[in-house]
């Protein structure tokens, strides 16, 4: 039986040339949630290739929804403008549809990047109050998150909607939603 790997697939009107996807990979290179030249190099190399789809890294829908201070976000006009610059580059020189993974870290937020140990930030390291469905910490010695009320959950849902609208304006072909992104 021949492999379907190299055959096209349609996802809600988006046709991919094959079933190979470059998975989202946390880069921990953003500045205040905004994409930098690193993102042009990182995503641009894959956009030129033969994959059927390239996914951006987990992209926080709010500042509080980041895993680390270096995580990509899509919660401000600056975030949107810098990420649009990256995707415009990928469109100009690449051939591959681009997807984005929108995320909220929940209780896993306010942490050092993995290269620096991935442990929770201390108060003097600009830690932030995380938000999650319950006040249960991610693990021993982690921050206790603020338990979200119905209103808090509605706020997070609205942040996903707003980030999705930003992703559409940027021109992403596909949006994936995720909570608790990237293993620590």
The ranges assigned to domains in the chain are 15-179
Instruction: List Cβ neighbours of 78 (8 Å cut-off, separation of 6 or more).
Output: 32, 33, 34
Per the listing, tokens 């693990």 go with 139
What's the confidence (pLDDT) of residue 184?
44
Helix (H/G/I), strand (E/B), else coil: 89: helix
pTM: 0.93
Mean pLDDT in consecutive groups of 10 residues from the start of the chain, 184 residues: 91 95 96 98 94 97 97 98 98 97 96 97 96 95 96 97 98 89 50
**Using CA atoms, how far apart are residues 11 and 35, in angstroms rounded to an integer?**
27
What's the confidence (pLDDT) of residue 180?
60
**Using CA atoms, how far apart are residues 74 and 84, in angstroms rounded to an integer?**
10
Neighbour count for residue 153 (Cβ, 10 Å): 12
The CA radius of gyration of the chain, in Å to the nearest whole number, is: 17
What's the confidence (pLDDT) of residue 2?
81
Taking Cα atoms as reference points, which of 130, 128, 123, 129 lies closest to residue 106?
130
Question: CA dihedral defined by 31, 37, 40, 41, rounded to 10 degrees?
Answer: -120
Q: How far is CA 29 from the centre of its chain?
A: 12
CATH topology (fold) of 15-179: TIM Barrel (3.20.20)
> Are residues 112 and 119 in contact, defined by beta-carbon separation less than 8 angstroms?
yes
**Using CA atoms, how far apart are residues 73 and 165, in angstroms rounded to an integer?**
13
Sheet holding 174-179, edge to edge: 21-22, 53-60, 98-104, 174-179
């Amino acid at each position: 039986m021949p492999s379907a790997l190299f055959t096209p697939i349609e996802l809600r009107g988006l046709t991919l040339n094959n079933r190979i996807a470059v998975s989202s990979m946390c880069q921990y290179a953003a500045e205040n949630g905004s994409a930098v030249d690193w993102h042009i190099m990182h995503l641009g190399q894959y956009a030129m290739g033969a994959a059927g789809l390239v996914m951006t890294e987990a992209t926080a829908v709010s500042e509080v929804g980041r895993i680390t201070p270096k995580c990509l976000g899509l919660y401000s006009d600056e975030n949107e403008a810098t990420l649009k610059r990256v995707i415009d580059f990928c469109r100009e020189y690449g051939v591959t549809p681009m997807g984005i993974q929108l995320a909220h870290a929940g209780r896993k937020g306010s942490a050092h990047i993995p290269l620096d140990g991935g442990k929770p930030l201390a108060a003097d390291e600009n830690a932030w109050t995380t938000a999650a469905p319950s006040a249960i910490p991610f693990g021993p010695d982690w921050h206790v998150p603020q338990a979200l009320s119905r209103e808090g959950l509605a706020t997070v849902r609205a942040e996903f909607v707003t980030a999705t609208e930003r992703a559409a304006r940027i021109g992403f072909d596909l949006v994936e939603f995720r909570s608790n992104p990237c293993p620590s």
